[in-house]
């Protein structure tokens, strides 16, 4: 399994990319990948099969990259960052496996969802296995403050998932309530990843707080752009994956905005399709049309840019360095992939 970075056409056209970041951390990322493969091994053969299905399925390894890049920026010399990079990817993979069960998804990262191939039971248990091994691996560097960060993140992520489940299919969700969910469910792990690299390097509190703020706001921006992409992004072009969130009845920021800005009959459309899950042919196109009419996607991207700007300012206390520049470029990459 090599380093898998899938850049689709849209991404290639944009100016910002992950290339500079990758060039800086490539040896560490390769060692992280080796660690991932080694630690997902088990004499219970189902485990590497399922884990490999997800881990090699073309994730961008964004979270491990944050650990490696922030450690690199701070001049970290040990190899504890590899354990945290691999451990955080395991935590992420575990939540994907459990999410598939919770969402009853058929697809994940463009492949058949693991639960369709191995069943819900196996996905729950392989997720637990990965979580257990994540902690086992992250205990090894012997850094207690880092362990506090990642274990707190594990609890917060689960809370975010439950909040999302409770608010599921509720078109009345406010923007604030939605932001609270994605901060916990998505951004918290980005924050932990960025923070850990700096803590490992023995940096002062202000630097740790800066990295956390960068990770948190990048995570929020990343999720909002994902939400916009699910309805075709700024061009609202209907690509192959457009409408997945819609068909699953997920309330995301574009929906929150379109619902609030909509007429009563438009709100009835959102209630029918998302709350009652009565979706007819052509409804995805209508949904995208309403998004366009109310500038819901443009404004979701606008909101994402706002959080990216906060992340950028948080980073300013670090002196100039190639790692810092590469981390700032991740923010542009994150936003530009939508155009």
Contact present, 58 and 109 (Cβ < 8 Å): yes
Contact flag: residue 22 with a second copy (CB under 8 A): no
Place of tokens 């936003």: 335
Listed ranges 1-9, 147-155, 192-200, 309-317: which one lies at the site for a second copy (CB under 8 A): 147-155
Of 38 and 241, the one with the shorter C-beta distance to a second copy is 38
Q: How far is the CB of 100 from a second copy (least distance, A)?
A: 10
Distance CA 98, CA 164 (A): 14
Of 40 and 224, the one with the shorter C-beta distance to a second copy is 40
Between strands 111-112 and 107-108, the pairing is antiparallel
Candidates 61, 81, 108, 133; binder of a second copy (CB under 8 A) is: 133
Contact present, 57 and 6 (Cβ < 8 Å): no
176 membership: H or E segment, kind and range? helix 175-182
Contact flag: residue 155 with a second copy (CB under 8 A): yes
Contact present, 245 and 224 (Cβ < 8 Å): no
Neighbours of 197 (CB within 10 A): 28
Contact flag: residue 106 with a second copy (CB under 8 A): no
Listed ranges 25-33, 135-143, 189-197, 294-302: which one lies at the site for a second copy (CB under 8 A): 135-143
For helices 296-315 and 205-229, angle between their N-to-C axes, nearest 10 degrees: 160
160 membership: H or E segment, kind and range? helix 144-167
Mark 4-42 as b/e (b = at least 16 C-beta within 10 Å).
Answer: ebeeeebbeeeebbbebbbebbeebbebbbebbbebbee
Of 186 and 300, the one with the shorter C-beta distance to a second copy is 186
Of 45 and 265, the one with the shorter C-beta distance to a second copy is 45
Of 146 and 327, the one with the shorter C-beta distance to a second copy is 146
Contact flag: residue 154 with a second copy (CB under 8 A): yes
Q: How far is the CB of 2 from a second copy (least distance, A)?
A: 26
81 membership: H or E segment, kind and range? helix 80-103
Say if residue 324 is exposed, middle or buried (CB neighbours under 10 Å; 0-12, 13-18, 19+): middle
Contact flag: residue 139 with a second copy (CB under 8 A): yes
Contact flag: residue 132 with a second copy (CB under 8 A): yes
Candidates 24, 29, 96, 126; binder of a second copy (CB under 8 A) is: 126
Contact flag: residue 144 with a second copy (CB under 8 A): yes
Contact present, 137 and 39 (Cβ < 8 Å): yes
Listed ranges 75-83, 128-136, 268-276, 291-299: which one lies at the site for a second copy (CB under 8 A): 128-136
Of 29 and 47, the one with the shorter C-beta distance to a second copy is 47
Contact flag: residue 116 with a second copy (CB under 8 A): no
Distance CA 62, CA 129 (A): 22
Q: How does DSSP classify residue 253?
A: H
Binding-site size, a second copy (CB under 8 A):
44
Q: How far is the CB of 134 from a second copy (least distance, A)?
A: 8
Q: How far is the CB of 110 from a second copy (least distance, A)?
A: 23
Binding residues for a second copy restricted to 30-59, rule: CB under 8 A: 42, 44, 46-47
Contact present, 266 and 258 (Cβ < 8 Å): yes
Q: How far is the CB of 94 from a second copy (least distance, A)?
A: 8
Binding residues for a second copy restricted to 66-95, rule: CB under 8 A: 94-95
Q: Give the residues lining the site for a second copy (CB under 8 A).
A: 42, 44, 46-47, 94-95, 98, 101-102, 120-122, 124-129, 131-133, 135-136, 138-140, 142, 144, 147-148, 151-159, 161-163, 165-166
């Amino acid at each position: 399994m090599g380093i898998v970075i899938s850049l689709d056409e849209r991404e290639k056209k944009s100016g910002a990319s992950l290339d500079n970041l990758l060039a800086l951390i490539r040896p560490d990322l390769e060692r992280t990948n080796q660690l991932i493969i080694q630690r997902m091994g088990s004499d219970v053969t189902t485990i590497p099969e399922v884990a490999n299905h997800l881990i090699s399925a073309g994730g961008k390894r964004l979270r491990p990259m944050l650990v490696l890049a922030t450690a690199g920026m701070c001049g970290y010399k040990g190899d504890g960052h590899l354990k945290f990079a691999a451990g955080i990817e395991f935590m992420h993979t575990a939540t994907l496996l459990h999410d598939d069960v919770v969402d009853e998804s058929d697809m994940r990262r463009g492949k058949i969802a693991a639960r369709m191939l191995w069943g819900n039971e196996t996905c729950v248990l392989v997720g637990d296995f990965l979580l257990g091994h994540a902690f086992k691996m992250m205990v090894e560097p012997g850094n207690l403050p880092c362990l506090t960060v990642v274990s707190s993140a594990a609890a917060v992520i689960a809370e975010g998932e439950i909040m999302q489940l409770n608010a599921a299919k509720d078109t009345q969700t406010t923007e604030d309530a939605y932001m609270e969910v994605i901060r916990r469910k998505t951004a918290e792990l980005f924050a932990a990843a960025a923070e850990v690299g700096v803590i490992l390097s023995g940096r002062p509190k202000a630097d740790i707080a800066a990295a956390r703020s960068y990770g948190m706001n990048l995570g929020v921006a990343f999720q909002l752009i994902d939400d916009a992409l699910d309805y075709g992004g700024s061009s609202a072009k209907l690509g192959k994956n457009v409408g997945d969130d819609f068909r699953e009845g997920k309330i995301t920021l574009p929906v929150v905005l379109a619902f609030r800005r909509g007429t009563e009959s438009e709100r009835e459309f959102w209630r029918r399709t998302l709350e009652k899950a009565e979706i007819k042919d052509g409804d995805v196109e209508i949904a995208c049309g309403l998004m366009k009419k109310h500038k819901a996607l443009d404004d979701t991207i606008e909101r994402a840019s706002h959080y990216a700007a906060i992340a950028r300012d948080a980073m300013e206390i670090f002196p100039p360095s190639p790692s810092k520049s590469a981390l700032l470029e991740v923010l542009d990459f994150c936003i530009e992939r939508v155009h």
